[in-house]
Structure 1
Amino acid sequence: MGASSDAQFQHAFDLAVNQRSDVYVADTFNNRIQVFRVRN
């Protein structure tokens, strides 16, 4: 385990994108929502 394993999805179930183009991914088996922020 480590940083690389923490970044991996375990059953990505759904995603959403907000008005700023940030992406939210529901990572079901890790019990979390990962957020990817888009910045220019």
Structure 2
Amino acid sequence: MGQARRNKDRGIAAKKLQFFYLMKKVSNRTEEEIQKFIKHRFK
């Protein structure tokens, strides 16, 4: 049971990283701007 949860968390983390990478690629924003954008968007 614990293993499944860990895998799920890893999947979410991987998706987040992928999202960061895409954001960086699409717009040459800084990491900070992306963080602000995410905080603003996912309140």
TM bin (shorter chain): under 0.3
Q: TM-score under structure 2 normalisation? A: 0.27
Q: Which has the higher contact order (CA 8 A, sep 6+)?
A: 1
| Larger helix proportion of the pair | 2
Bigger radius of gyration: 2
Q: TM-score under structure 1 normalisation? A: 0.27
